């Protein structure tokens, strides 16, 4: 079965075809994923390596956390970490070309290094929530499942780029990835300029999004039209980030997207959304791949490391000071 167009407005692929299908199905998966990422930068992935039970448990503890009093949540805000672990309060982050704070609060789970990799010293410790049993354990189970799913998607991308299938593996081992459960509270008064999340592109290699609890995600397609992406229960949405676009010299598209406010009659409804931002190791070079630079042309981007690029972007969205 080849790529199909879903009512959600983006193409769909089945990860099982890549992992356990025939040679022909695997080849078709690589072709369909590559085509989707060259044309729109977003794809719906069926059969990700995360169970419904894990997703349900994660939403349960996340909702319980956001229902805590604000003074309790603020105990878990780590301002010195630029929001990279723990809680970030409502309206703190904004799109890079906007000064209006997004109408959201969020939490960050980060990498847990379990081998003797010296990169462990570079990462801040994760934050534990005393009030909610198993909050950390459930979050990290989802983190590792989505990281594993992303590893296999990057293997398919590597094949599409005519690289060795495992080319990305060493670059993402103990990578600087983030799991971000987001809460968009009910809207209680007419927003001035802000939307739930202003139009933006993601910073990382790829983003894996577990189905959001309400509508609102929109993608800007190649015709410059906003297309609504509706969550399907058996799919996750996976999009290209700026690091992968840069690495591939714009061959793969980091597509602009946003989360719009609901119609007024639905203002009272909160929205929960849980993206996993798959980042490489800090030292990875994001220099454009030679195979993605046409003969006689030069690279579209100057060389930069993943950590320097990340810090530039965190400053642009207001999480660190320049």
Domains of the chain: total: 1
Residues with Cβ < 8 Å from 193, sequence gap 6 or more? 98, 100
Q: What is the pLDDT of residue 189?
A: 61
Residues spanned by the domain of 26: 4-316
Element (H, E) at 70: helix 70-73
Tell me, yes or no, whether 322 lies in a domain: no
- Tens digit of pLDDT at every position of the chain (322 positions): 334 444 456 789 999 999 999 999 999 999 999 999 998 888 999 999 999 999 999 999 999 999 999 999 999 999 888 788 999 988 665 445 545 456 789 999 999 999 999 999 999 999 999 999 999 999 999 999 999 999 999 999 999 999 999 999 999 999 999 999 999 877 666 665 555 556 778 899 999 998 654 467 788 877 888 888 776 668 899 999 999 999 999 999 998 878 776 666 666 677 788 999 999 999 999 999 999 999 999 999 999 999 999 988 877 766 656 5
Q: What is the pLDDT of residue 181?
A: 95
Enter the DSSP assignment of 115: S
Tell me, yes or no, whether 68 lies in a domain: yes
Enter the DSSP assignment of 287: P
Tell me, yes or no, whether 9 lies in a domain: yes
Tell me, yes or no, whether 321 lies in a domain: no
Q: What is the pLDDT of residue 263?
A: 63
CATH number of the domain to which 66 belongs: 2.60.120.330
Tell me, yes or no, whether 265 lies in a domain: yes
Tell me, yes or no, whether 147 lies in a domain: yes
Tell me, yes or no, whether 293 lies in a domain: yes
- Cβ 153 vs Cβ 145: under 8 Å: no
Residues with Cβ < 8 Å from 149, sequence gap 6 or more? 15, 45, 48, 49, 50, 208, 236
Q: What is the pLDDT of residue 251?
A: 96
The predicted-structure confidence for 252-299, as pLDDT tens digits, reads as follows 999 887 877 666 666 667 778 899 999 999 999 999 999 999 999 999
| Extended beta strands in the chain, E state | 4-5, 11-14, 42-46, 86-88, 105-110, 178-179, 182-184, 197-200, 206-210, 217-220, 226-228, 235-240, 257-259, 271-278
Q: What is the pLDDT of residue 190?
A: 64
Q: What is the pLDDT of residue 27?
A: 98
């Amino acid at each position: 079965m080849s790529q199909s167009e879903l009512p959600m407005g983006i193409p769909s692929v089945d990860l099982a075809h890549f992992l356990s299908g025939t040679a022909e199905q695997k080849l078709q998966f690589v072709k369909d994923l590559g085509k989707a990422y060259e044309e729109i930068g977003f794809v719906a992935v069926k059969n990700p390596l995360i169970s419904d039970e894990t997703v349900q448990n994660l939403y349960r503890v996340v909702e319980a956390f956001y229902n805590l009093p604000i003074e309790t949540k603020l105990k878990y805000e780590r301002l010195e970490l630029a929001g990279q672990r723990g809680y970030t309060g409502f309206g703190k982050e904004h799109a890079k070309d906007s000064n209006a704070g997004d109408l959201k609060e969020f939490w960050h789970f980060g990498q847990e290094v379990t081998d003797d990799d010296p990169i462990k010293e570079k990462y801040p410790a994760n934050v534990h929530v005393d009030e909610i049993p198993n909050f950390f354990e459930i979050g990290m189970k989802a983190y590792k499942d989505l990281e594993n799913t992303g590893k296999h998607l990057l293997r398919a991308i590597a094949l599409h780029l005519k690289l060795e299938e495992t080319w990305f593996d060493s670059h993402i081992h103990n990578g600087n990835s983030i799991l971000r459960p987001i809460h968009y509270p009910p809207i209680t008064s007419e927003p001035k300029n802000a939307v739930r999340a202003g139009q933006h592109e993601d910073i990382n290699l790829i983003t894996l999004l577990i189905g959001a609890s309400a509508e609102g995600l929109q993608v800007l397609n190649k015709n410059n039209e906003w297309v609504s992406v509706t969550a399907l229960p058996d799919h996750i949405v996976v999009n290209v980030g700026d690091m992968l676009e840069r690495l591939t010299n714009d061959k793969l598209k980091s597509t602009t997207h946003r989360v719009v406010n609901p119609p007024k009659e639905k203002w009272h409804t909160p929205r929960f959304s849980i993206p996993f931002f798959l980042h490489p190791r800090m030292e990875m070079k994001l220099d454009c791949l030679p195979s993605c630079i046409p003969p006689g042309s030069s690279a579209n981007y100057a060389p930069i490391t993943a950590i320097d690029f990340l810090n530039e972007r965190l400053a642009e969205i207001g999480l660190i000071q320049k």
